Structure 1
Amino acid sequence: MSRNPELNTALTQWNGPLGLPDFTAFSDADFASVFDAALAADLAEVEAIANNPQAPTINNTLKALQLTGKALDHVSSIFWLRAGAHTNETIQTLERDIAPKMSRHYSRIMMNPALFARIDALYEQRDALNVDAETRRVLEKTWKGFVRSGAKLDEAGKQELAEINEKLASLGARFGQNVLKDEASWALFITDEADLVGLPDFLKNAMQSAATERGRPDAYAVTLARSIVEPFLTFAENRSLREQAFNAWARRGENGGETDNREIVREMVALRERKAHLLGYANFAAYKLDDTMAKTPKAVMDLLEPVWDKARAKAAEEEEALQQLIAAEGRNHKVAPWDWRFYAEKLRAERYAFDEAELKPYLQLEKIIEACFDVATRLFGIRFEEKKGIPTWHPDVRVFQVFNPDGTERGLFLGDYFARTSKRSGAWMSALQRSHKLDGGQKPIIYNVMNFAKPKEGEPALLSLDDARTLFHEFGHALHGLLSDVTWPAVSGTAVSRDFVELPSQLYEHWLTVPEILKKYAVHYRTGDAMPKALLDKVLAAQTFNAGFNTVEFTASALVDMAFHTGNEKIDDPLAFEKKTLEKLSMPQAIIMRHRTPHFTHVFSGDGYSAGYYSYMWSEVLDADAFSAFEETGDAFNPEIAARLKQYIYAAGGSRDPEELYIAFRGKMPTADAMIAKRGL
């Protein structure tokens, strides 16, 4: 990058503690000029490779290309972290500008004929090149990446594809911002104590904190953060308030005005369809799935459809049981979507003699973080040490140094656990820096973002069992990044096919409910007593409770995602399309999709999980089978299996075909039976 005195190099040259960026040394106003300079520098590096007069080699083309754009990587990773985890008007305005600019930049690179000619020449002689399996795989993936990005199109096709990609990037940024605005701007303030009937203390504390953050210390706020709205729907006795909160939650992104996402979805679906046709695919799902384990839309539907039928049958039984509870209370209304969680919780308390409120005092955030670390130490030998007082993007963020079994530094892990209005909803893992060994290599800097309700000052944060699972899930992704042991950046960590990426995360969830882990870490926040065995047994017995509801909610979302991206019909009204698709599926009236179309950020805020939401279930087939490998030995920490797990699943990244890696770990590919049994279907 140039030595322009106006550029703040703190964004590109990281001189903070432990190799982090110095978050105190730049401001939001610095991003725009640094981005422009970094984009120009990256383009110059790429053009030097493309125009190299020497014949292409692995070193002067493939390796050189992998090592370009260090400044751009640095400023981008900080910016996208801020855009998701701690945004504001300035960052959002920039995001709307930068998303299409980045798309345009990558189109120029991937459609550069001289550069593709060099990659293509290497690809054509790949059998004659004396390279290891990982290098060959990177070459093949790189070549395919160029082709899927339009390198073989004529000039008119290239121009059209570049315009489509740019437009999609703009629309995806706007979609996500609209959902965040709808979430941040809505709150239901409660001042009448009678409206708090049924709410446990942990929830009232969280609602008080949320109200104070919104300038109403006199009230309790129901917000659209999942960590508040879901327990509110579970415990609030006031049915009309449940309905109000539920409808606000369900209608994010479809409230009219400038945050309405319906037109964005319509446009995105049409553009994706056109993109797929330009590249020679029957539809967008066929394009997206070509590079996954599933390979085809048919394979995805072969997984989802039988599960859907079982889930609907199970949900019908569950609904009947809830309807009986309603009748027993002397009421005659049907189970509505805002009733399901409330009555399901009553039914669980009746059947298993415990409720979420009884469980929560034993699930302290602090202890569940310790449990995550302990499992990683037992399985993989790594350990974690917290480093206090290091400035990051927000005062709530915690920094941990990660060490190998021999005491050398492995990398850094950062945790950002609490909900706030500047953070998008959900939970995710990402990297400020991926690990690799090319040209001296670099250590991973991995972070997890959550949205747990922040407790009142001096109180511990208490989690639901779902929250605790989410923490283990995202930490499983973090380990995929931290344990990565590959040479090439292109296949590092989570750079694997979309339907394999959820295996390390979903598999890790299993260790939360290993009895010796719960016994050690599920301790009462006041007394320090371990969760009583009777309660622990009930928790484990109730793991498949409400399985029909949970599976319908998820699978409906996956099926609607596939419907949007496999049909060739023009969709004028996305919500009418959603409704028609669900009617064809005979969707139960009392349940809605886990993510309705106007706020389905997995699918429309960028295209990460577009035609890919099914992948959670695809990976679940693998994770149910993978954990069985430990269960079969009677030892959840069996060292021999843990060593194979590390080598083939957590450390291998995308260095080999995912099916090949799974078979190397387990000896065979699984069927869906273990997953269906695990779900209680």
Structure 2
Amino acid sequence: MVHENPLLSPSTLPYRLPDYARIRPEHYLPAFEWAFTEHLREIEQIATSAAPPTFENTVVALEESGRMLEDVAHAFYTVASADATAPIQQVDEQLAPLMAAHEDAVRLDARLYARVRAVHDQLDTLTLSQEDRYLVERHHREMAHAGAALDADDKARLSELNRRLSVLTTTFEKNLLADTNELAVVFEDAADLDGLSEGELSAAAEAARGRGLDGAWVVTLTLFTGHPYLSSLTNRRARERIMAASRSRGSRGGTHDNRGVLRDIVRLRAERAALLGYPSHAAYITADQTAGSPEAVEEMLRRLAVPAARNAAAEYAALQEIADRSASPHQIAAHDWAFYTEKVRAARYDLDRAALRPWFEAERVLKDGVFRAADALYGLSFRERDDLVAYHPDARVFEVFDADGSALGLFVLDLYTRDSKRGGAWMNPIVSQSAMRGTHPVVVNNLNVSKPAAGSPTLLTLDEVTTLFHEFGHAL
């Protein structure tokens, strides 16, 4: 089986990039099962060691364990978020409870926790580097936070809660993606899309053809709570339809309604938090974050609330003034906000963001903007690797070099929206950098830019340019 499954042996591609050209959906679950078994064997060796716990035989050994599982997980979850086809979604559903059970088998192992805690208790007497001390503290903190100190009955209940939550969150994501695709807004008349550029219209026509709707235009929902087209569509009803579709995802009844799923998630998270000694899920989550507590977050939001509300009221008044002077005066609604913001910006600053788009051709922004900035700031250079295949034809692979010419890793850019990709923009590792393992990073940036018709340039909005720079910052 190892020889037949490309995930069960180290990739021979540069930087250990997963061999996506050979990987099939049916390879993932057997690879995970194999990796689970191997990881548990490694954990058992650490937990049952007869030697007194030390930094090397416990913390370093724990850090080195699970390498195969990490590789398989990075390869799979990259695809599950960016190209969640029906076979991948099926694997994800089967995998969710298995992954939750495996993580608990490691994090809740009382023998392993006792050894990690013993090393942690010796920290003040050990001669460790700052990095090594952090490693001890992180593993101890993560196991304690996960519930390793609970008794057997509470651990059993915690594992059941984690299993159910893993299934629910996977169901939530599947429902959201399906409903997002179903709610793509169909227009029969191009006049309804007045204000869009030629490229945007061609993208909408291409999206319609992909759904078998020749002669129509389809606006897909690329963001969670809004849409880039809301700032330029002159037809108020068109803006309203797109906003309404965005806001109704997962909450309109039917098989993809997430309201019941959310109620169950909230209830089970609250029970889990109480089991772990926290008053709320928010307290449980923030305890291991920079904020430290929900109260700290609320205090920051309270400080922001008054000036934010005051500024929003001033913005609303300015927008309403423009709407009152329009040919059809009306009360500003949520779907009008972005459109009239552009009107105010043009009136006050003589700035038409639509006119900027020809200057924001995607290839130019990437190479003359993002990559040039990385060179100016850090001396980095980039070379596209057409010989390396990523998980989707739209994903491009670049090799990254330091100022001295030494190779640093791979950067993957997956720019375009598609029905199998979740909304928003994000960065995630495909291969993690590790001095211990001798691996260089392979990271991917995902965006949801509308793909133009074949032969047409990809013209970005100013917001998309900002997002591209932002996500590349995470990649750096």
TM-score category of the 2 structures, normalised to the smaller one: over 0.9
Contact 1:227 1:451 in 2 (8 A): no
Alignment match of 1:433 (pick from 427, 431, 434): 431
Task: Provide, for residues 213-261 of structure 1, a one-character-per-residue CA deviation record: whole Å limited to 9, x for no partner.
Answer: 3233422211112399723322222222221211111111102112111
Distance (whole Å) between structure 2 residues aligned to residue 321 and residue 90 of structure 1: 50
Partner of 1:34: 31
Alignment match of 2:419 (pick from 390, 403, 421): 421
Partner of 1:574: none
Alignment match of 1:448 (pick from 436, 445, 448): 445
Distance (whole Å) between structure 2 residues aligned to residue 231 and residue 25 of structure 1: 36
SS in 2 for 1:226: coil
Is 1:289 the equivalent of 2:310? no
Contact 2:104 2:159 in 1 (8 A): yes
* Higher mean C-alpha displacement, 441-450 vs 223-232: 223-232
SS in 1 for 2:148: coil
Alignment match of 1:394 (pick from 392, 395, 412): 392
Task: Provide, for residues 616-665 of structure 1, a one-character-per-residue CA deviation record: whole Å limited to 9, x for no partner.
Answer: xxxxxxxxxxxxxxxxxxxxxxxxxxxxxxxxxxxxxxxxxxxxxxxxxx
Distance (whole Å) between structure 2 residues aligned to residue 193 and residue 58 of structure 1: 67
Distance (whole Å) between structure 2 residues aligned to residue 273 and residue 188 of structure 1: 37
Cα shift at 1:193: 3.2
Distance (whole Å) between structure 2 residues aligned to residue 194 and residue 404 of structure 1: 50
Q: Counterpart amino acid of 1:168?
A: L
Alignment match of 1:121 (pick from 101, 118, 123): 118
Cα shift at 1:12: 4.2
Per the alignment, do residues 228 and 107 of structure 1 end up closer, same or farther by CA in structure 2, a change over 3 Å counting?
closer
Q: How does 1:158-557 map to 2 (within 5 A)?
A: 158-226=155-223, 230-370=227-367, 371-438=369-436, 440-479=437-476
Distance (whole Å) between structure 2 residues aligned to residue 415 and residue 45 of structure 1: 35
Per the alignment, do residues 5 and 317 of structure 1 end up closer, same or farther by CA in structure 2, a change over 3 Å counting?
closer
Distance (whole Å) between structure 1 residues aligned to residue 9 and residue 307 of structure 2: 52
Per the alignment, do residues 407 and 199 of structure 1 end up closer, same or farther by CA in structure 2, a change over 3 Å counting?
closer
Aligned length: 475
Cα shift at 1:413: 0.8
TM-score, normalising length: structure 1: 0.68
Q: Counterpart amino acid of 2:389?
A: P
Contact 1:16 1:23 in 2 (8 A): no
Q: Counterpart amino acid of 1:429?
A: M
Is 1:91 the equivalent of 2:114? no
Contact 1:119 1:143 in 2 (8 A): yes
Cα shift at 1:356: 2.0
Distance (whole Å) between structure 2 residues aligned to residue 247 and residue 116 of structure 1: 50
Consecutive unaligned residues of structure 2, counting only runs of 5 or more, are: none
Task: Provide, for residues 133-185 of structure 1, a one-character-per-residue CA deviation record: whole Å limited to 9, x for no partner.
Answer: 11111101111111111111111111111111111111111111111111112
Contact 1:7 1:34 in 2 (8 A): no
Contact 1:223 1:229 in 2 (8 A): no
Task: Provide, for residues 499-530 of structure 1, a one-character-per-residue CA deviation record: whole Å limited to 9, x for no partner.
Answer: xxxxxxxxxxxxxxxxxxxxxxxxxxxxxxxx
SS in 1 for 2:295: helix
SS in 2 for 1:21: coil
Distance (whole Å) between structure 1 residues aligned to residue 100 and residue 22 of structure 2: 28
Per the alignment, do residues 40 and 282 of structure 1 end up closer, same or farther by CA in structure 2, a change over 3 Å counting?
same
Distance (whole Å) between structure 2 residues aligned to residue 435 and residue 18 of structure 1: 10
Distance (whole Å) between structure 2 residues aligned to residue 227 and residue 112 of structure 1: 39
Distance (whole Å) between structure 2 residues aligned to residue 139 and residue 420 of structure 1: 42
Distance (whole Å) between structure 2 residues aligned to residue 149 and residue 91 of structure 1: 28
TM-score, normalising length: structure 2: 0.96
Distance (whole Å) between structure 2 residues aligned to residue 128 and residue 227 of structure 1: 50
Distance (whole Å) between structure 2 residues aligned to residue 17 and residue 474 of structure 1: 23
Partner of 2:56: 59
Per the alignment, do residues 32 and 335 of structure 1 end up closer, same or farther by CA in structure 2, a change over 3 Å counting?
same
Distance (whole Å) between structure 2 residues aligned to residue 227 and residue 372 of structure 1: 25
SS in 2 for 1:402: strand
Distance (whole Å) between structure 2 residues aligned to residue 427 and residue 193 of structure 1: 29
Contact 2:199 2:453 in 1 (8 A): no
Task: Provide, for residues 76-123 of structure 1, a one-character-per-residue CA deviation record: whole Å limited to 9, x for no partner.
Answer: 111101110011111111111211211110101111111111111111
Is 1:149 the equivalent of 2:138? no
Is 1:132 the equivalent of 2:106? no
Distance (whole Å) between structure 2 residues aligned to residue 401 and residue 6 of structure 1: 28
Cα shift at 1:208: 2.0
Distance (whole Å) between structure 1 residues aligned to residue 261 and residue 380 of structure 2: 45
Same amino acid, percent of matched pairs: 37
Contact 1:11 1:78 in 2 (8 A): no
Distance (whole Å) between structure 1 residues aligned to residue 291 and residue 234 of structure 2: 44
Task: Provide, for residues 45-82 of structure 1, a one-character-per-residue CA deviation record: whole Å limited to 9, x for no partner.
Answer: 11111111111111111111111112211111111011
